[in-house]
Amino acid sequence: MHVRVLGEFEVRRAGADLTPSAPKLRQVFALLAVEANRAVRTDQLIEELWEDRPPLSAVTTLQTYIYQLRKLLGWPATTGPDVGTGTRQVALRTTPGGYVLDLPEGALDAVEFEDLAVLGRSQLMKGCFEEAAGTLRQALELWNGRAFGAISPGPLLHAQLVRLEELRKLALDHRIEADLRLGRHMDLIGELSTLTAQQPTHEGFQAKLMLSLYRAGRRAEALQAYQRARTALAGELGLEPSAELRRLHQAILSADPALDAPAGAACPSPAVATRRQPNQLPLDTGRLVGREQALDEVRRALTEHDRDTPVVALTVGAPGSGKSAFAVHAAHRVRGDYPDGVLFARLQRPDGSVVPSAQVLGDFLCALGLGPGGPGVSLEEMQTAFRNWTARRRLLVVLDDVVETEQINALMPSAGCAVIASSRRLLSHPAVLITTRTAPLEDETSQCMLVDVLGADRVREDSAGLGELVKLSGGLPMTLRAAASLLQLRPHWPIAKLLARARGDVRRIPPATTDAPNITDSVARSFRLLSSKEQTAFRAVAATAEPCVSAAAAAELLGVDEAEAELLLEDLVEFQLAEAEDVDGAGAFRYSIRAPFRTVAPSLTASSC
């Protein structure tokens, strides 16, 4: 049996998936698994499931869960270690005051990760940098998303989640340190740029990015990285950089020779970079409710094509529909078919501006160990270097928030490689093999997503509020996830309490995390891509009382002829800000804008573009 907790929670035996489907059963099993071979007291399990509000029947209900787990997994009620052979057998045993899940060595990925992380740290401390880098990379590859995946953790599982995440960060820090000691600063720049963007107040990652840039001959960029770190620390925490970061900054200013790469650690060749398999892919988000069939179609398209040409899988979705999460999740599913690594880039900044293709391609070349682009290197020269390198390999490129097809052209690898691209507008490109639409979720699927996070028991207590919350969200995973996150943090709140706070306005529901995008910013990023006439049309249609409008009605509303009105409405559909429905089957379309977008529209002005 193998139990995976470093990602989507999964239990497998002899190739069969035995993962419990009920949220409470998964919660019980996850806690027993992470404490494998140690007794978990009954009161601890009750605290995990119900915190400080257990029902009167808590003990009986827990016993029922244990019975259901044993029945599901085909275990007898009392089976201990095999005394004769000394080999531990898989069993869920009852002990005085609790339960023990017996698992053999190597059955739990979290234990394997911790053992490898300890070994890697020991190798690093002994100066065995090559071995340390390999061991720690092997440890980190066991992760496939957030620990425990979509399980809604109680206090004990949450503590384990925090502990494992901190160990992951420490192992990642040690692995990057080992790579720096080996002179792999060129390879690290792309990865560290992503890490510092995701965690701008992590001074360890910021320092390593500054050092990598400096060693790569990019001192000005290293100093800019320090200023970004300083701004983030002051803005988010009200702190100045640590003494260590300030000393590094001063050393870069004075070109201190102590910062130079270790003797003998020359910039690696492309062949060496190939063996290290750059992986810039963000962490997976866990299970995506309602997207299973689409994910399977993308997986088949990227793993079963003939590879005579580079293939592109395009994901298109409205603001907040989860297109970026879909692209990242799909990439995690297929990355095993692309052994030469994964490159990742976001092509639109938070302010809506487009990242130049030359900048992205320069970062890709650095990650591959080919050296950065520079003022004297043209985009065409960088493209040639990139395609020559990828011509002999199988590489996966993930492009998030593609704005126009020219970006795909500029960043296209050679035959045998693949691209997963996400976009907030419909695009047409000859290399696109499959286009997936991350449409807003249907009501039933939206409810399943909330049940998956909050648990059936809690949702069942407020079915009316559940329907209202789904309606308010407009079926957008971003707003559903934000609502579910807030309710997780307020376990004493009924759904009606959140609805009363929102008062029909999704903007009053805070994002799931401090660095997560909110619906206003996401819609604004699409709005900035529109022309001034398209912006006017969006705001005007969003302000109408009617749920949908015809081209004729829009023409009257906008003061233009019907043909121009229809063209503007179709442009909004192209940018996923409106939806079209053929009411009579003859092309008499009516156009609608989803409720969350209508709410946001009044705050958007031409100055947003």
**Per-residue pLDDT for 461 more than 50?**
yes
Per the CB < 8 A criterion, the answer to whether 357 and 373 are in contact is no
- pLDDT at residue 294 in the model: 93
> Which residues, 6 or more positions from 84, have their beta carbon under 8 angstroms from its beta carbon?
none
pLDDT tens-digit profile of 73-120? 776 555 444 333 344 577 888 888 899 988 888 888 899 999 999 999
The H helix count followed by the E strand count for the chain is 26, 14
> φ and ψ at 429, to 5 degrees?
-150, 135
Instruction: Tell me the mean pLDDT in the region 536-562.
Output: 93
Strands (E) across 191-237 are located at none
As beta bridge partners, residue 354 has 348
Enter the pTM of the model.
0.57
CATH number at residue 347: 3.40.50.300
Q: Is 40 helix (H, G, I), strand (E, B) or coil?
A: strand
Residue % of the chain over a pLDDT of 90: 39
**Per-residue pLDDT for 586 more than 90?**
no
Instruction: Tell me the mean pLDDT in the region 223-237.
Output: 91
Residues 107 and 253 in one domain: no
Structural domain contains residue 570: yes
Per the CB < 8 A criterion, the answer to whether 425 and 405 are in contact is no
- pLDDT at residue 86 in the model: 40
Spatial separation of the C-alpha atoms in residues 383 and 311, rounded to whole Å: 17
Strands (E) across 374-523 are located at 396-402, 418-423, 432-437
Residue 315 binned pLDDT confidence (cut-offs 50, 70, 90)? very high
Residue 539 binned pLDDT confidence (cut-offs 50, 70, 90)? very high
Residues 87 and 8 in one domain: yes
Structural domain contains residue 522: no
Residues 491 and 564 in one domain: no
| Domain span at 212 | 183-267
Cβ density class 302-331: b for 16+ within 10 Å, e for less: beeeeeeebbbbbbbbbbbbbbbbbbbbbb
Ramachandran class of 190: left when φ > 0, alpha when ψ lies in -120 to 50, beta otherwise: alpha
**Per-residue pLDDT for 530 more than 90?**
yes
**Per-residue pLDDT for 567 more than 90?**
yes
- pLDDT at residue 83 in the model: 33
- pLDDT at residue 336 in the model: 85
Which helix H or strand E contains 100, and what residues bound it? strand 98-102
- pLDDT at residue 606 in the model: 59
Q: Where among 437, 469, 493 does a domain terminate?
A: 437
Residue 371 binned pLDDT confidence (cut-offs 50, 70, 90)? low
Q: Where among 464, 490, 516 does a domain terminate?
A: 516
Q: Where among 179, 212, 238 does a domain terminate?
A: 179
Residues 288 and 212 in one domain: no
Domain count, the chain: 5
**Per-residue pLDDT for 521 more than 70?**
yes
Residue 362 binned pLDDT confidence (cut-offs 50, 70, 90)? confident
Residues 284 and 252 in one domain: no
Structural domain contains residue 586: yes
pLDDT tens-digit profile of 462-509? 777 888 888 888 889 998 888 888 888 888 888 888 898 888 888 888
- pLDDT at residue 75 in the model: 65
- pLDDT at residue 76 in the model: 56
Spatial separation of the C-alpha atoms in residues 284 and 102, rounded to whole Å: 29
| Bridge pairing between strands 98-102 and 589-592 | unpaired
Higher pLDDT, 198 or 511: 198
In this structure, which amino acid lies at residue 559? G
Q: Is 67 helix (H, G, I), strand (E, B) or coil?
A: helix
Residues 114 and 44 in one domain: yes
Structural domain contains residue 79: yes
Structural domain contains residue 144: yes
- pLDDT at residue 310 in the model: 87
Residues 87 and 162 in one domain: yes
Structural domain contains residue 531: yes
Residues 541 and 408 in one domain: no
Residue 458 binned pLDDT confidence (cut-offs 50, 70, 90)? confident
Residues 35 and 141 in one domain: yes
pLDDT tens-digit profile of 259-299? 887 655 433 333 333 334 688 888 876 678 888 899 999 99
Instruction: Tell me the mean pLDDT in the region 338-364.
Output: 89
Q: Please write down the HEC assignment for all residues of 580-599.
A: EEECCCCCCEEEECCHHHHH
CATH number at residue 546: 1.10.10.10
CATH number at residue 239: 1.25.40.10
Number of neighbouring beta carbons within 10 Å of residue 118: 14
Structure tokens at 16: 């069969």
> What is the layout of strands, in order, in the sheet containing 40-41?
40-41, 98-102, 91-95
Residues 401 and 281 in one domain: yes
Q: Which of 52-66, 155-169, 371-385, 554-568 has the lowest mean pLDDT?
A: 371-385
> What is the layout of strands, in order, in the sheet containing 589-592?
548-550, 589-592, 579-582
- pLDDT at residue 516 in the model: 65
As beta bridge partners, residue 40 has 99
- pLDDT at residue 608 in the model: 44
Taking Cα atoms as reference points, which of 88, 120, 412, 439 lies closest to residue 294? 439
> Which residues, 6 or more positions from 505, have their beta carbon under 8 angstroms from its beta carbon?
599
Residues 204 and 292 in one domain: no
Taking Cα atoms as reference points, which of 379, 166, 363 lies closest to residue 278? 363
Residues 210 and 153 in one domain: no
Q: What are the percentages of helix, strand and coil residues in the chain, rounded to 5?
A: 55, 10, 35
- pLDDT at residue 607 in the model: 47
Mean pLDDT of the chain: 85
Structural domain contains residue 31: yes
Structural domain contains residue 24: yes
- pLDDT at residue 117 in the model: 92
Residue % of the chain over a pLDDT of 70: 91
